Amino acid sequence: MRRRSFLIVAACTVGVANLPARARAQTKPTVTVFAAASLREAFEAAGPAFTKASGFPVSFDFGGSDTLATQILQGAPADVFASANTAQMQRVTAMVRVPKTLARNRLVVIAPAGDPVVASVADLGKSGTKVVLAAASVPVGAYARTAFGTLERDPAYGSGFAARVAANVVSEETDVKAVVTKVALGEADAGVVYTTDVTPAVASKLRVLRFPAGAAPEAVYPIAVVSAAPNPAGAAAFVDFITSPAGLGYLKARGFEE
Amino acid sequence: MIRAAVAAAAALLILFIVVPLVALCVHVAPDRIVHAVTTPMGRDALRLSLTTTACSLALTLALGTPLAYVLARSTVPGRSVLDAIIDLPIVVPPAVAGLALLFAFGHFGVAGPLLDALHLRIAFTTTAVVLAQLFVGAPFYVRAARAGFVSVSRTLEEASETLGMGPLRTFARITVPLAFPVLAGGAMLAWARALGEFGATIMFAGNLQGVTQTLPLAVYLGLQSGDLELSASLAIVLVAIALAVAGGVRVLERRAS
């Protein structure tokens, strides 16, 4: 009995010790990319092409940019950070190299396809409308709140519009994809997401309403190599690839702008 | 040799549990904890956690006590199936519970048309928080209470009834007092589980300060938005509560044995 458990422990130890060595022998080290949740579809599509071009396997960690920034500040072993706004990139300024602008995105209001409550952006402030936003620390949550503040200056919406919308918020989600899911499930009457989040997978469940011209801020995505990247060569290769015409093609195909 | 290995393994696990909890406390000065708990977000989360767990505990006792008694006393066929159903929320991951609750009580859920007809909307309300807590917490009480009722001799109950006490009075005056330490221990565990509930809550009830943002959600969102001090302070409050509960359960267990 004792002998057998010793063997199991020994086998586990040998197995674990062997793993990285074997991985190293076969391929280059993996690049770990922390990216805003809204970049999921574009980055996942670009991943295999990047690996093919550079030889670096890539693994993605998608989440709210605020969560990812906090994790980097706490020493998470990220090689690259792509944020959905400059504010979250600025939080990690001391820990990343100079960021490049990756892409731009637009805000839209989404509503469940069969839910008639919200017919226009103004209806977000109508009493009884159930609105789901990302938390204010999440970039899309911050952009949405800025947009409501801008709309207040338009007499059609009126002063107090932002406060009326805020009073209608029933949940503050942790990233933009959670907002999409809650609206697609019909749990809320409307939410604010990026135009790129209305993917073919959910498009049939959603109606899309556009903000009036000039009301919504343009979302800007900075991308940077993390200074303490465990894989600096892979990190630089990923940033070079994704900001090249070939890499940007994957973003544009999903509605991002240069 | 074996004794040393056992001692080393035991010490390792104890350290593994103690070190992170101590690290949490080292992170924040005591006056900052008080400050964090008095911020609007901290205060709302504490108040919401206390009120919702009080509600879910009351529901657990009201619905769980009869069920536990039936499971302890009856010999109906299918009792083992009921036992297994009661155990399910303990083994199912909270994220699964959250998804299941959403598909049951959400807008497009199984009960959605009925709830719509009654003009009830549960997702994103404090009710959803209580339901999530009830789902994950109640089984802990029912299991304990059933064991407690089983430990009360049926002869004592029969004697009481032959002496003219009705079944309800017998239950209240004989069964419950005899099983009390076990019942209270189970109730405390159920309450503590409800207090710590996170996964099912954030999926089913969402996250809104003062409405559905309980202490564990505030801890998570504090970390997420970079407010580590708030996050750690509220975490320490939860650890303090957990210590009190663990101590209380110990005392009751000692009294029971």
Domains and CATH numbers, chain B: 31-256 (1.10.3720.10)
Asked if the Cβ–Cβ distance from B212 to A171 is below 8 Å, we say: yes
Let me know if the fold of A2-103+220-252 is the same as that of A107-210: yes
Asked if the Cβ–Cβ distance from A91 to B224 is below 8 Å, we say: no
- Nearest-neighbour CA in chain B from A205: distance (Å): 12
B224 shares contact with chain A (CB less than 8 Å): yes
What local confidence, expressed as pLDDT, does residue B58 receive?
Answer: 98
> Which of A182, A189, A204, A206 to mutate to probe the B interface, most B CBs <10 Å?
A182
**Top-confidence residue, A17 or A115:** A115
Q: Report the alpha-carbon angle A18-A20-A26, nearest 5.
A: 100
> Could you state, in order of their start, the residue ranges of all structural domains in chain A?
2-103+220-252, 107-210
Through-space distance between the first and last CA atoms of chain A, rounded to whole angstroms = 64
Hey, which residues does A105 pair with through a beta bridge? A219
| DSSP helix/strand/coil, A61 | strand
pLDDT 10s digits, B154-213: 899 889 889 988 888 999 999 999 999 899 999 999 999 999 999 999 888 988 889 999
Percentage, residues of chain A above pLDDT 90: 80
pLDDT 10s digits, B98-151: 999 988 998 778 998 888 888 888 888 999 999 999 999 999 999 999 999 999
Asked if the Cβ–Cβ distance from B225 to A188 is below 8 Å, we say: no
What local confidence, expressed as pLDDT, does residue B256 receive?
Answer: 66
Using an 8 Å CB-CB cutoff, list residues of chain A that contact chain B: 64, 66-67, 69-70, 73, 91, 130, 132, 135-137, 169-174, 182, 185-188
Of B187, B202, B196, residue with least CA distance to B101: B202
Q: Mean pLDDT, chain B, as a whole number?
A: 91
What local confidence, expressed as pLDDT, does residue A122 receive?
Answer: 95
What local confidence, expressed as pLDDT, does residue B164 receive?
Answer: 87
pLDDT 10s digits, A74-92: 888 899 999 999 999 999 9
What local confidence, expressed as pLDDT, does residue B245 receive?
Answer: 83
pLDDT score of B51 more than 70: yes
The third-level CATH classification (topology) of the domain covering A107-210 is D-Maltodextrin-Binding Protein; domain 2 (3.40.190)
> Which of B1, B24, B44, B107 to mutate to probe the A interface, most A CBs <10 Å?
B107
B1 shares contact with chain A (CB less than 8 Å): no
- Measured in residues, chain B has a length of 257
Q: Are A113 and B202 in contact (CB under 8 A)?
A: no
pLDDT score of B248 more than 70: yes
| CB-based contacts of A112, cutoff 8 Å, min separation 6 | A183, A184, A185, A186, A188, A189, A205, A206, A207
**Top-confidence residue, A5 or A208:** A208
Q: Mean pLDDT, chain A, as a whole number?
A: 89
Residues of A in contact with B102 (CB under 8 A): 185, 187
What local confidence, expressed as pLDDT, does residue A21 receive?
Answer: 44
What local confidence, expressed as pLDDT, does residue B90 receive?
Answer: 92
* Beta strand ranges found along A195-245 (DSSP E): 206-210, 219-225
What local confidence, expressed as pLDDT, does residue A2 receive?
Answer: 46
HSE at residue A169, side-chain half, CA atoms within 13 A, is 26
Tally of CB atoms within 10 A around B17: 10
Q: Domain spanning A2-103+220-252: which CATH class is it, in words?
A: alpha beta
Structural element, H or E, at residue B158: helix B154-162
What local confidence, expressed as pLDDT, does residue A26 receive?
Answer: 57
DSSP letter for each residue of A70-139:
HHHHTT---SEEE-SSHHHHHHTGGGBPPPEEEEEE-EEEEEETT--S-SSGGGGGSTT--EEEE-TTSH
If pLDDT is split at 50, 70 and 90, which confidence band does B257 have?
low
Tally of CB atoms within 10 A around B155: 8
B102 shares contact with chain A (CB less than 8 Å): yes
Q: How many whole angstroms separate alpha carbon A33 and alpha carbon B213?
A: 30
Using the structure block, give the residue that is written with the tokens 């020493």. A75
pLDDT score of A30 more than 70: yes
- Option in A69, A137, A187 nearest B107 (CB): A187
User: What average pLDDT score do residues A233-243 get?
Assistant: 97
Q: How many whole angstroms separate alpha carbon A90 and alpha carbon A55?
A: 31
Hey, which residues does A190 pair with through a beta bridge? A131
Q: Report the alpha-carbon angle A181-A170-B104, nearest 5.
A: 55
pLDDT score of A18 more than 80: no
The strand pair at A58-63 and A31-36 is best described as parallel
pLDDT score of A17 more than 80: no
For B174, which DSSP code?
I
The strand pair at A219-225 and A100-105 is best described as antiparallel
Q: What's the predicted TM-score (pTM) here?
A: 0.80
Q: Are B44 and B213 in contact (CB under 8 A)?
A: yes
User: What average pLDDT score do residues B42-48 get?
Assistant: 95
Asked if the Cβ–Cβ distance from A169 to B206 is below 8 Å, we say: no
